Chains A and B, each alone.
Chain A
Amino acid sequence: MEIYGLGIVAFCMYIGSFIGYFIGEALGISGNVGGVGFAMLLLILLSNYVDKKRGGWSERTKNGIYLLSALYIPIVVAMAGIQNVVAAFSGGAIAFVAGGVATIGSMFLVPVIGKLGSKKLEE
């Protein structure tokens, strides 16, 4: 059933966030540190394990997870809609400089690391 899929993600979120809050406490910032990342990692490990063990979850269970990932962009749009953009606008140049430099810089790293791959293939 679809709800199983939603439940699996909920389970991963709780475990991941538990680890996240635990690290947060340990660091003394009382926040969910890296919880989303841990939950994603857990979901990947779990789904790959089930794939190997018994050919994956049923179609309807998967649909529950797909429903959530289909809501991802709409949720991000809603999230953008509730930010304090007026305040951010006063320092807006930062967004353009940081985003721009990071993008162009990353692109020029492509051939450098690409070489690493082709060398390995030649071996």
Chain B
Amino acid sequence: MISDIISTLFTKFPLVGAIGAVALILLVSYWFANVIGQKRMGSAIAIVVALILAFIAGKFTDGSKGVSDITYFSGFALLGGSMLRDFAIISTAFGAKLENLKKAGLPGIVSLLLGVTFSFVVGSVIAYVMGYHDAVDVATIGAGTVTFIVGPVTGTALGASSEVIALSIAAGVVKSVLTMIITPFIAKAIKLDNPTTAMVYGGLIGTTSGVAGGLAATDPKLVPYGAMTATFYTGLGSLVCPSLGYMVLKIFL
């Protein structure tokens, strides 16, 4: 009887169950990030944990929709679906000031344009070399190399498969984590010691969590400068990758 009631709870309130489960994932991930002394890696760790859970669920159920194939966790499909995802992403643009972009000036704008283009091209070329020859797949993986948000946004827009979208998220997460880890070591070599280069750095790398984490480990004073340009990166990527990026790829493929 008790177990019946419990399974009723999960099937009656799927969205609430998913919110609770995600809260738990984040709690454990941030706790782990604290233990290893990398506070800002919490969200990247949580994404990796979720990808691992999706892997386990996929092995277990033979399904293609990760943990949402398990009846108890079907709410994940609502919480992580494209509707709420896009709704939340758009809200993050709030607070970005136009003056700030003007303040970042020419190097800021050049770094944003070059940063998105460079990552998209590198990701696309590697995807092509490693066996993906369909323009939609190549564009999605290239967009994932921009950030782990631009990948799924592009993939959903162009109708890519979940497998390719998962790859694009993974590429973005690799970029984010790698940025946090190697920035402090490479800071001197790339002259990352003043507001201008910090803004350029934010515009070139773009993954907000990676940039903020990497700069915090280098010099906390530089964080707002890097974060300022990085805020525009995902927006620019979501605008350019599924439209212009895809069209250009379509010419070659």
Contacts and interface: CB of A to CB of B under 8 A. Distances in A.
Nearest to B45: A77
B235 interface: yes
A107 B228 CA distance: 17
Nearest to A73: B43
A64 to B, nearest CB: 9
Interface stretch (B5-13, B31-39, B116-124): B116-124
B217 interface: no
Contacts of A97: 126, 130
B94 A43 contact: yes
Q: Interface size for chain A: under 10, 10 to 19, 20 to 34, or 35 or more residues?
A: 35 or more
A40 B236 CA distance: 9
B115 A106 contact: yes
A114 interface: yes
A98 to B, nearest CB: 4
B54 A82 contact: yes
B174 A91 contact: no
B122 A94 contact: no
A15 to B, nearest CB: 11
A94 B126 contact: yes
Contacts of A113: 107, 110-111, 114, 200, 204
A36 B90 contact: yes
Main secondary structure of the interface of B (DSSP, over half): helix
Nearest to A24: B157
A75 B157 contact: no
A113 B76 CA distance: 42
Nearest to A49: B98
Nearest to A92: B170
Contacts of B26: 73-74, 77
A74 B126 contact: no
B130 A84 contact: no
B172 interface: yes
Interface in B34-67: 43, 46-47, 49-55, 58-59, 64-67
A82 B64 CA distance: 8
Contacts of A13: 86-87, 90
A17 B96 CA distance: 20
Given A81-B54, A87-B166, A110-B191, 10 more contacts: A34-B157, A36-B90, A72-B89, A80-B54, A82-B77, A98-B123, A100-B174, A104-B178, A116-B110, A117-B200
Interface of A: 9-10, 12-13, 16-17, 20, 23-24, 27, 29, 31-41, 43-45, 47-48, 62, 65-66, 68-69, 71-89, 91-111, 113-114, 116-118, 120-121
26 contacts: A27-B247, A33-B242, A36-B86, A37-B237, A40-B238, A48-B98, A75-B79, A76-B80, A77-B25, A77-B26, A81-B25, A82-B80, A83-B162, A86-B58, A88-B164, A91-B131, A93-B130, A98-B174, A99-B145, A99-B170, A106-B205, A110-B204, A111-B191, A113-B107, A117-B196, A117-B199
Which 6 pairs show the lowest CB-CB distances between chains A and B? A37-B239, A99-B174, A78-B80, A117-B107, A95-B170, A83-B166
